[in-house]
Structure 1
Amino acid sequence: MTDRTAIFDTVAAQIEPFDKKGVEITDATTFQGNLEWDSLTVMDFVAAIEDEFDIIITMNMQAEIETVGQLVDAVAKLKG
C-alpha cells in the first residue's frame, strides 16, 4: 500500500460521518458538487483532517481544493 493509498483511505474514513447522501468516494468526488457540503461542514471536516494528520491546511490551500484527490495530494505534500 502506498502512502497516497493510506492517506486516501484515512480521508475517506473521515468523510464518512459527513456523507449524508452515501456518495461513493473517489479521487474525483467534489465536496460542494457531489457531497453538497456547506461551509460549516467543510470547516468541521478540515479540522478533523488537520487533527488526524497533524497538519495545517491554510485558507489559500482550502480555496484550491475541490476534490478528494486534490485533498489527498495536499495532505501527502504537507506530511512530506
Structure 2
Amino acid sequence: MLVIGLDGTMLNRIKDADAPNLDALMAGGMTSASSLYANPMARPPRPGWSTIATGVWPDKHNVVNNNFTAPNFAAYRTG
C-alpha cells in the first residue's frame, strides 16, 4: 500500500495540474477528496496522520495536538 497525503492540497487542483505521474497513480488506485476530520477529539493536522497510520481515533492513539506528549502507538502497530 502506498499512501500519498498532500496537506492543504485540493484534489481538483491536482487533477487540473500537469502531473502525469500522480495521474497514473490515481488511475491505478483509489483517490479520496475528503478530509479526515477528528474533532472534537483532536485538532488537525498531526492527529489526522496518526489516525491514518494506526487506524484508530485520537482517543486511542493519544495524539490530540501537535505536541505528541504521550503517544500510544505501540498498542496500535500496523506493521
Comparing both chains, which one has the higher relative contact order based on Cα–Cα distances under 8 Å and sequence gaps of 6 or more? 1
TM-score over 0.5 for the pair: no
Q: TM-score, normalised by structure 1?
A: 0.28
Q: Which has the higher helix share?
A: 1
